[in-house]
A and B are shown apart, each in its own frame.
Chain A
């Protein structure tokens, strides 16, 4: 059974810092990995999707990497801003069988102005 772990569970940084959020998964037979952002009381917004054949994806100040063999992904946020404060979730989709995503428990990020 796939398990997804995110470390740290919570993170507080001053504005302007570069930061890294970590995601690990136990079964490397994945089809893709997706990073989401969730604001308090809101739904999930997709940030980046990395296919299993890819090593990284970039969107603006966000960069996500994937090392499938080691079961790890990182989300790098450059020059953090207070508006980046949210919970960040990673989720993996298996390569075969069940199509549904398995989610980590998230990293709650607070960027202090």
Chain B
């Protein structure tokens, strides 16, 4: 398996633009997580899905953030409009519940200027 695949690896955008981050989880995993990592706050959970259904989105900072999982092999995290304080590394992770640990993707480094 190729692991958790995220795209793009790097994204630089101007304030106010829409940004879409993409994630392909490991086949067969039934949980998908979106995390954000910053120097100040470390790794923070944004949202997670179970069997494509959002379970907990309490970590989503505000209405500018939205996430979808239309099927078991694809998820998106969208920021509209983007702001400089959204600059961070965004990680996607997947897991097969109660059996193994979590596998993380390589992350998307987002810079909003």
Residues of A within 8 A of B (CB): 31-32, 34, 36, 41-46, 49, 89, 91, 98-106
Contacts and interface: CB of A to CB of B under 8 A. Distances in A.
Q: By DSSP majority rule, is chain B's interface helix, strand, loop, or mixed? A: strand
A103 B95 CA distance: 16
Contacts of B95: 99
Contacts, number: 46
Interface in B12-49: 31, 33, 42-43, 45, 48
B72 to A, nearest CB: 16
B54 interface: no
B42 A103 contact: yes
Chain B's interface size range is 20 to 34
B52 interface: no
22 contacts: A31-B98, A34-B102, A36-B104, A41-B109, A43-B104, A43-B105, A44-B93, A45-B104, A46-B102, A49-B100, A89-B43, A91-B43, A91-B102, A98-B56, A99-B31, A99-B95, A99-B97, A100-B33, A100-B56, A101-B33, A101-B102, A106-B42
Contacts of B107: 42-43
Contacts of A91: 43, 102
B73 interface: no
B91 A43 contact: yes
B55 interface: yes
Contacts of B106: 42-43
B63 to A, nearest CB: 21
A44 to B, nearest CB: 4
Given A43-B106, A44-B104, A99 B91 contact: no
B91 A100 contact: no
